[in-house]
Chain A
Amino acid sequence: MAIKIKSQQDWWAGWMFIAFGVFFIVVAMGTPEFINKIFGGAKLIPGYQLGSSVRMGPAYFPVVLGGMLAVLGLLVLFDSIVEEGPKVAKFHFRPLLFIAVSSLAFAYLLKPLGLALASVILVFISAYGGHEFKIKEVAIMSVVLVIFSVLVFVKGLSLPFPVCPSFIEICPIR
């Protein structure tokens, strides 16, 4: 018997909540013995002490909350079968990917390449993820932003960011 999902959003939301709830419970309590045995006896995920309601251990609150979350997830699942709800709108991966990659690139390239280059990279990648991409515009924008950032963040607020790449020994700006 196929279950007719009346609300796609609620269906997936319910599963998401259940997944999070179970995740927190398992990490807090540790993997149960029968799973450990499958993997050779060693505790796959060591949990934290549960304690009692009198002396709550570090696992107590997370387990209770995780349980509540999982139960609510079940309720939402139930709702998704019973009540009409909106469909999940299409996922657009392009902007997601470009924005995420641009910020990650910036973060991991800041120390080796310096603020100036990392900012330019971020601006280019994120601009590429948008609707329009005119190279000249983006280039001008990145230069303006670099100048602004160096003045405000490095000079003004004295944030300890390297401005020039690490392979250039003597930096004109410091």
Chain B
Amino acid sequence: MEGMFGNLAIGFAEVFKLQAVTVAGIAMTLPFNILMCLIGCLLGTLIGVLPGIGPVATIAMLLPVTFNLSPIAALIMLAGIYYGAQYGGSTTAILVNLPGESSSVVTCLDGYQMARRGRAGPALATAAIGSFFAGTVATLVVAMFAPPLAEVALKFGPAEYFSLMVLGLVAAVVLAHGSLIKAIAMVILGLLLGLVGTDVNSGVLRFAFGLSELADGIGFVTVAMGMFGICEIIANLEQKEKREVFTSKVGKLMPGKEDFKRMVAPILRGTVLGSCLGILPGGGALLASFGAYTLEKKVSKYSHEFGKGAIEGVAAPESANNAGAQTSFIPLLTLGIPSNAVMALMIGAMMIQGIAPGPQVMTERPQLFWGMIASMWVGNLMLVILNLPLIGMWIKLLTVPYRYLYPSILLFMAIGVFSISNQPFDCFLMACFGLLGYVCVKLGCEPAPMILGFILGPLMEENLRRAMLLSRGDPWVFVSPSKPISMGFLIAAVALLVIIALPALRKKRQEVFVEET
């Protein structure tokens, strides 16, 4: 224990240390690393708020800048961009129903509804508070349990991942508040759309009809902007009376006492779920955020409010995704394995600096390792200090008449989507998904389960086929006693499906009884 505090002390010393730098020709002593953290957080928040532009593109663009910085300063700044983008992405999810990151999709569901009812302030505050708490706890988790957690992560093979994703998709069905069958169908539709592109296992280009633009699949941003953004704008514009989208009766900026009471448990549950699932490379943080939502919906006594602006529906996923963002550093820092595209860039940045990412970083470069961990907490602190006062500004923004808001949103969306590969095709796809989303909403089918299926589909297939390859075609590998984790997830998935289906079945039976009497 003392060892850990000693290490954290090294880390904080590194983060706060004063360095002699020359800025614009003037030599001065600054706490340079803190400054880098601040710049990273600011930049991250900005790109998180701008729809369509994400941390991957920004970090990639800034890599040359980091060449001239010391390794710790470079990594601190890049990490700041990463979770700054998480905070910023939650902001757009709540304000305009646009998920900045894939793990903010779930926040759109209740966060946006809260904003429409004049509760944007409490929603944003809940997101910030929940994220900060989760970030703090997760940082401690990383500090204390990084190596053993990494070992756990290694135990997850393709079979375990597949089963986890099956569980996740069943949970996705819970997201919908309408018809169960249609929700499952939307999930499957999402899975299918996610398969467009190059198949990992065979290299074949699927469902692309010769269009080279589809060779890498349809991007998440394109689908999200289309189904959440464009669809929402069209839906708002088609109201016959000129009604303002956001009630002009702007509520309080801060959550009330009742709100605070309600957000405590979801934040705790979300943090635990996020910390656990974030360590899994490839989709951990995303699964955590909507797993947390599902859990809350099933457990909360306000579950009827979910989908209409329940504060738990913001608190839980936000805590989960921020905890997941912190713990996703674990595979990077301990094993040198990236959990997502941003981590892969960090590895690149480290390698350029001459640092080989891997287990020896902890022992050979303790200042770097512990400095990074300390900076994670400092970054979270900076972000919560930054974001809380900004809430007032965001709320003012929402009072702008919708006829000014929506062209601006549309322009930023178009710019963001275009910048994915500098081609008009992605905007064309966005418009197509906008149309699809519009049709689906008219037909009573919800986009949220579809988009989750879309993200998880290719991962599921990849892991299914790999598990079958490794087991030489034995389908029982998923429930074999030698793989308790996989079996556990599948059992949980079946149990969850039963829990979901039971009320619906009971209702049908009651209806039949009523008709018969």
Which chain A residues have a beta carbon within 8 Å of chain B's beta carbons? Answer: 9-10, 12-13, 16-17, 20, 24, 27-28, 48-49, 52-58, 61-62, 65-66, 68-69, 72-73, 75-76, 79, 85-86, 88-89, 91-92, 94-96, 99-100, 102-104, 106-108, 110-111, 115, 119, 122-123, 126-127, 129-132, 137-138, 141-142, 145, 149, 152-153, 156-161
Q: B359 contacts which chain A residues (CB < 8 A)?
A: none
Pairs across A and B, CB under 8 Å, 20 listed: A10-B182, A13-B182, A20-B189, A28-B206, A28-B207, A49-B202, A56-B201, A69-B185, A73-B185, A75-B181, A76-B182, A99-B234, A100-B230, A103-B431, A111-B424, A126-B407, A132-B403, A149-B412, A157-B47, A161-B418
Q: Closest B residue to A95 by CB, please name it.
A: B237
Contact indicator A61/B195 (Cβ below 8 Å): yes
> Which stretch (B90-98, B123-131, B433-441) binds chain A?
B433-441
Of A10, A28, A72, A156, the contact of B188 (CB 8 Å cutoff): A72
Query: With A16-B443, A106-B414 in contact, is A131–B403 under 8 Å at CB?
Result: yes
Most buried by B among A48, A123, A126, A161: A126
In the complex, what's the smallest C-beta–C-beta distance from A74 to chain B, in angstroms?
10
C-beta contact mask, B393-429 vs A, less than 8 Å → 1, else 0? 0000000001110111011111101110010111110
Of B207, B410, B440, the contact of A103 (CB 8 Å cutoff): B410
Of B181, B408, B412, the contact of A76 (CB 8 Å cutoff): B181
In the complex, what's the smallest C-beta–C-beta distance from B161 to chain A, in angstroms?
15
Q: Closest A residue to B230 by CB, please name it.
A: A99
Contact indicator B204/A58 (Cβ below 8 Å): yes
Contact indicator B411/A17 (Cβ below 8 Å): no
Contact indicator A157/B53 (Cβ below 8 Å): yes
Of A85, A158, A159, the contact of B444 (CB 8 Å cutoff): A85
In the complex, what's the smallest C-beta–C-beta distance from A70 to chain B, in angstroms?
10
Tell yes or no: B61 within 8 A of A by CB: yes
Contact indicator B404/A141 (Cβ below 8 Å): yes
Contact indicator B195/A55 (Cβ below 8 Å): no
Tell yes or no: B233 within 8 A of A by CB: yes
Question: Could you tell me the distance between the alpha carbons of A103 and B419 in the complex, rounded to whole angstroms?
Answer: 14
Query: With A55-B469, A102-B410, A108-B424 in contact, is A159–B419 under 8 Å at CB?
Result: yes
Question: Could you tell me the distance between the alpha carbons of A87 and B118 in the complex, rounded to whole angstroms?
Answer: 30
Q: A111 contacts which chain B residues (CB < 8 A)?
A: 424
Contact indicator B464/A56 (Cβ below 8 Å): yes
Contact indicator B424/A110 (Cβ below 8 Å): yes
Contact indicator B207/A141 (Cβ below 8 Å): no
Contact indicator B434/A99 (Cβ below 8 Å): yes
Question: Could you tell me the distance between the alpha carbons of A150 and B242 in the complex, rounded to whole angstroms?
Answer: 32
Q: Which of B181-239 contact A (CB under 8 A)?
A: 181-182, 184-185, 188-189, 191-192, 195, 199, 201-202, 204, 206-207, 230, 233-234, 237-238
Q: B439 contacts which chain A residues (CB < 8 A)?
A: 16
Of B181, B195, B414, B424, the contact of A122 (CB 8 Å cutoff): B414
In the complex, what's the smallest C-beta–C-beta distance from A130 to chain B, in angstroms?
5
Contact indicator A106/B427 (Cβ below 8 Å): yes
Contact indicator B411/A123 (Cβ below 8 Å): yes
Contact indicator A145/B408 (Cβ below 8 Å): yes
Query: With A62-B195, A100-B434, A100-B435 in contact, is A149–B189 under 8 Å at CB?
Result: no
Tell yes or no: B301 within 8 A of A by CB: no
Contact indicator B189/A106 (Cβ below 8 Å): no
Q: Closest B residue to A17 by CB, please name it.
A: B185
Q: B411 contacts which chain A residues (CB < 8 A)?
A: 106, 119, 122-123, 145, 149
Q: B422 contacts which chain A residues (CB < 8 A)?
A: 160
Q: B443 contacts which chain A residues (CB < 8 A)?
A: 9-10, 12-13, 16, 88
Contact indicator B47/A99 (Cβ below 8 Å): no
Contact indicator A53/B445 (Cβ below 8 Å): no
Contact indicator A123/B407 (Cβ below 8 Å): yes
Q: Which of B452-489 contact A (CB under 8 A)?
A: 461, 464-465, 468-469, 472-473, 475
Query: With A57-B202, A95-B234, A149-B411 in contact, is A100–B431 under 8 Å at CB?
Result: yes
Q: Closest B residue to A144 by CB, please name it.
A: B408
C-beta contact mask, B39-59 vs A, less than 8 Å → 1, else 0? 000000011001001000010
Question: Could you tell me the distance between the alpha carbons of A91 and B435 in the complex, rounded to whole angstroms?
Answer: 11
* With A16-B439, A62-B206 already in contact, 4 other A-B pairs whose C-beta atoms are closer than 8 Å: A72-B188, A106-B414, A132-B403, A145-B411
Query: With A54-B468, A65-B192, A103-B427 in contact, is A157–B58 under 8 Å at CB?
Result: yes
Contact indicator A157/B406 (Cβ below 8 Å): no
In the complex, what's the smallest C-beta–C-beta distance from B177 to chain A, in angstroms?
14
Q: B182 contacts which chain A residues (CB < 8 A)?
A: 10, 13, 76
The 6 closest A-B pairs by CB, nearest first: A54-B473, A107-B427, A95-B237, A107-B424, A92-B238, A13-B443
Q: B440 contacts which chain A residues (CB < 8 A)?
A: 16
Contact indicator B237/A72 (Cβ below 8 Å): no
Q: A86 contacts which chain B residues (CB < 8 A)?
A: 444
